[in-house]
Structure 1
Amino acid sequence: MGAACSRSTDASAPSHPPSPPSSPRRRSIDAVRRSIDAVRDALGLHKREHQHWSETSCPWLSVRSETYDVDRAKTPVTRPMFMTLKHCDLFDQSDLKEGERLDVARRTAASWFRKQLDAERDERGKDGVRKVPWTFVFQFVNPDGAGLVCYFQPAFETGEGDDAATTATEVAARVERDAEASGLDADHAFARLFRRFLLEDNDNDAFRSERIKICAKITKGPAMLTQLVPTRPVLVGKRARTVFHSGKGTDLEGRYLECDCICADNSYAKYLYYTFSGLSSRSEEDVAIWIEGRGEDELPERVLGAVKFRKISPKTLTKV
């Protein structure tokens, strides 16, 4: 797949994407639906397991150990993921131009994150408190317009301060406080790397592009598919173009970070995708996402989050 290429479109994007006019009845129905969703989310009634996606622990995965810089040793993932998979949107974006397929967390009214924020805005009129945690969004932007959008939120190991972690700055500070409380070198290493990825290089997406890493494993499917998709870590920026969004210059600045992995710019990537997509309706695959650690002060690696996709086909996609 292609060479690394990263760019950001936050500054040029409109702060509020245009939406079609709606009737008072439609607006009323949408408000009721958002309120129901907010209640269900508060009570934990949103299922994080779906017919076509769910969380996974990736028991097959190994990542760089704290001594990797010396001995190249890797270790199985035994620690819980840093983030919880909250939802996946499976979109058919074939009628949209490329720019309209990106930054779905903010641009696309049908996105799970936008719905959460709409519900939050309704509630803030009552108590003025932000309720939606900072969210990491990873989207596979496929050549035929299929967009697989995964939404992750931090799952801190202690309960203190959860409600405050609604921005990137607050999340990074919380990770550092937890590292201080634990006293573990591994936690301090993750806190340093996570802050740099999230904040310190906020205007330099090249760093993010060269560090964001995924590993996929076909857990069920035709033998041909398992041969096509090797189970090994891949630096996303070396295999596809990546575009990052954080709401910069809008009222959502710092509320999320979205990584769009654009798989349509490279002929080999297209070949793999179209071969894979013909068999994906009969397959299941795990995908883990993390930041590559380099050097003693950034190791061991810790997985950000993971998703299991099941039997994805055009019929499973929602038209936007």
Structure 2
Amino acid sequence: MHQVTSHTREVSTLQRDFQVLDFGLTKDFFHLRMAACGGNDEAEWVQRLRAEGAVPRLEPENCPNGWATPPADKFMVRGPEYFSTRVKIPGGEYLLKPLGFDWIKGATKIGEVLNNPNSRIRKALDDEFPSAEKPFVWAFNLQVPSKDNYSAVAYFGALQPIPEGSLMDKFVKGDDAYRNSRLKLIANIVKGPWIVRKAVGEQAICILGRAVSCKYSVGENYIEVDVDIGASMVANAIVHLAFGYITTLTVDLAFLIESQIEPELPERILGAVRFSELNPNSARPIEPPSERSPTSVQSNVSTRWWQSIGQGLNNLRSHQGAHESSSAAVSPQVNGRIHDEDKIEETKNSCHRYLLFNCNWSCPTLHFEPRKLLTSSNKPIIFSVGKIWFTL
């Protein structure tokens, strides 16, 4: 019997990812449109899209109030033998090419950007390919809960047609339940204050559809994921925490479709974006939609509620250098089975993150030192700020 080795699995996976799906397109189509003729330089329309956003595209090492494409090997993904060894490997070449980044705001929550004929990405594609097939675009719209309804939108284009039967193909054609169970985000705080780095962790990993609310819009030549951070109280609170330091933060975000069975390994990253030291005043205003959705109203109510809690807790002050309490840490207990180390890592930090996520610790002078964390299905969470103890 033929033995399948890890090398064979990896080669077959790469072949799967790069086979051509017949959408009436060819590789030549993408090479001609995604790159300039006669060389490896980017096409003029791609360069224009990258340059016309509210914040510029810069080099990853130095991109203040701008965006960049971080190195793929900064992200750890499931390797070819992950299910037997639990070994992760640095991410390989991205499957998608970066097209642009929008830092925008509106009178109401911004969604379905690519369905708007006035969106700059949509207009560029319509102008460049008025009668021809258009490159397939992926958009990830992070809706930041705030009174100004900020959105950070990363756009990526397919380097070549989506391989039939691949995870990308299944994701585009699948239902929302499938997408919610597969779309993974890897977040890394490259630079920022201690409290934000501690809240997020060295490299935070989550399945977006389980952590927050995602709306998927699929068109003839695009798929957009609107990530409603405000729909989750936990995510809402940590973003409020981070937003207070946004002008000092450098953040890497990678989007990928999780490999859940062995033939899908190793994982491949769709695309990634780095944004650094964003200035809220740089966000470009866009026209609001004609109607305000019930989800938007509910999100803003949640936002105001958590803001009020955060403001109340921010009134608590303690002096730097409070004496350490000698309390033994208790390992967090969770209901249900933990399947892999991604979930173990998430569980390990759940107590600490819960406190940070649910408190808007935006005061730079606040001295926050967890002393004892205790949580289960029926026990309180106990923690302290300085010498003041709290029970949740």
TM-score range normalised by the length of the shorter chain? 0.5 to 0.7
Cα distance between partner residues in 2 of 1:221 and 1:58: 21
User: Contact 1:58–1:286 (CA<8 Å) still a contact in 2?
Assistant: no
Instruction: Report how far residue 313 of structure 1 moved.
Output: 2.9
Please give the residue correspondences for 1:1-320 in structure 2 after superposition, counting only pairs within 5 Å. Answer: 40-41=44-45, 46-47=50-51, 49-50=57-58, 51-77=65-91, 79-93=92-106, 95-96=107-108, 98=109, 101-107=110-116, 109=118, 111-120=119-128, 124=130, 128-130=131-133, 132-144=134-146, 145-156=149-160, 171-172=161-162, 175=163, 192-199=166-173, 201=174, 204-230=175-201, 231-247=203-219, 254-320=220-286
Give the structure-2-normalised TM-score.
Answer: 0.55
RMSD over equivalenced CA pairs, Å: 2.2
**Offset from partner CA, 1:264-313 (integer Å, 9 cap, x none):** 11222221111100101111111011000011121110000000011123
Instruction: Report how far residue 107 of structure 1 moved.
Output: 2.0
User: Contact 2:250–2:277 (CA<8 Å) still a contact in 1?
Assistant: yes
SS of equivalent to 1:59: helix
User: Contact 1:277–1:313 (CA<8 Å) still a contact in 2?
Assistant: no
Which aligned segments of 4 or more residues in structure 1 are displaced greater than 6 angstroms? 42-45
**Offset from partner CA, 1:63-113 (integer Å, 9 cap, x none):** 011111222221112x210111110111112x12x4xx211111262x332
Instruction: Report how far residue 196 of structure 1 moved.
Output: 1.2
Partner AA of 1:133 in structure 2: P
Give the structure-1-normalised TM-score.
Answer: 0.67
Cα distance between partner residues in 1 of 2:85 and 2:199: 30
Give the 3 Å change call, closer, same or farther, for CA 64–264 of structure 1 in structure 2. Answer: same
SS of equivalent to 2:190: strand
Cα distance between partner residues in 1 of 2:49 and 2:116: 26
Cα distance between partner residues in 2 of 1:269 and 1:41: 36
Determine what percentage of the aligned residue pairs are the same residue: 26
Partner AA of 2:143 in structure 1: V
Instruction: Report how far residue 154 of structure 1 moved.
Output: 1.9
Gapped runs of 5+ residues in structure 2? 1-42, 59-64, 287-392
Cα distance between partner residues in 2 of 1:46 and 1:239: 30
Partner AA of 2:69 in structure 1: E
Give the 3 Å change call, closer, same or farther, for CA 288–45 of structure 1 in structure 2. Answer: closer
Partner AA of 1:107 in structure 2: N
User: Contact 1:53–1:88 (CA<8 Å) still a contact in 2?
Assistant: yes
SS of equivalent to 2:74: coil
Higher relative contact order (CA 8 A, sep 6+): 1
Instruction: Report how far residue 49 of structure 1 moved.
Output: 2.0
User: Contact 1:90–1:148 (CA<8 Å) still a contact in 2?
Assistant: yes
Cα distance between partner residues in 2 of 1:234 and 1:137: 18
Partner AA of 1:268 in structure 2: V
Aligned pairs, how many? 232
Instruction: Report how far residue 57 of structure 1 moved.
Output: 1.5
